[in-house]
Amino acid sequence: MTRKLVVFYSRTGKTKTISERISELLNCDLEEIVDLKKRTGIIGFLKAGKDAFLKKKTSIREPVKTPSEYDLLLIGSPVWAGSLPPAIRTYITYFKNQLPKLALIGTCSGKGNVSKIAVEIEKISDKKLSAVIEVTSKEVSKNKYENKIQDFINELKNIQ
Ligand SMILES: Cc1cc2nc3c(=O)[nH]c(=O)nc-3n(C[C@H](O)[C@H](O)[C@H](O)COP(=O)(O)O)c2cc1C
């Protein structure tokens, strides 16, 4: 399992922090998924929750890297309204028929909620996730995630 790509969507930087750290430790490529819809401010926040809940897609910036050129795609995503941010839904749908093995880097505010987006990613991609890491926003704020990340990296070594 040599070629790995980390892609992530992050509205407030938590998923970005974890995704960047993982790509640094894996020494692999990294690409940010950019939602072209404004998601800042209170209106942006409310629309984000609504769009995620309604399982909407959005317009994203054209990705530069092609997932099919990698052996493993690690998707960094926050949980929004118990669901996927539209940018992640759009990205996975866009590359649906050319996805390699998948792993999930999930962040959320409440413990256990990443499992909700894990199920959705498996449904949309029609693939099983090879590994999942959940980091809460509190853990990111307090810098308490290195052990979890190390366990996750070790788990990735077992993927054939
Ligand atoms: C619109 C919206 C909805 C959210 N819904 C949930 C939720 O249902 N469950 C949860 O645990 N966290 C929820 N969160 C919290 C985020 O998942 C969490 O803060 C995450 O770490 C943010 O990642 P980011 O900084 O990369 O954007 C929500 C955040 C936003 C903006």
Span 65-101, pLDDT tens digits = 999 999 999 999 999 999 999 999 999 999 999 999 9
Class of domain 4-157: alpha beta
Tell me the mean pLDDT in the region 22-30.
Answer: 98
Mean pLDDT value across the chain:
97
Q: What is the pLDDT of residue 2?
A: 86
Which one-letter amino acid corresponds to residue 104? L
Q: How far apart are CA 69 and CA 72, in angstroms?
A: 9
> What is the domain partition of the chain in residue ranges?
4-157
| Ligand 1 pocket mutation, candidates 80, 83, 133, 144, criterion most atoms within 8 A of CB | 80
Q: Where are the alpha helices (DSSP H) in the chain?
A: 14-26, 41-53, 86-94, 114-125, 137-141, 146-157
Q: What is the pLDDT of residue 152?
A: 98
| pTM, 2 dp | 0.98
Under the banding of pLDDT at 50, 70 and 90, the label for residue 1 is: low
**Which DSSP state fits 62?**
P
Is residue 137 in contact with ligand 1, taking CB distance under 6 Å? yes
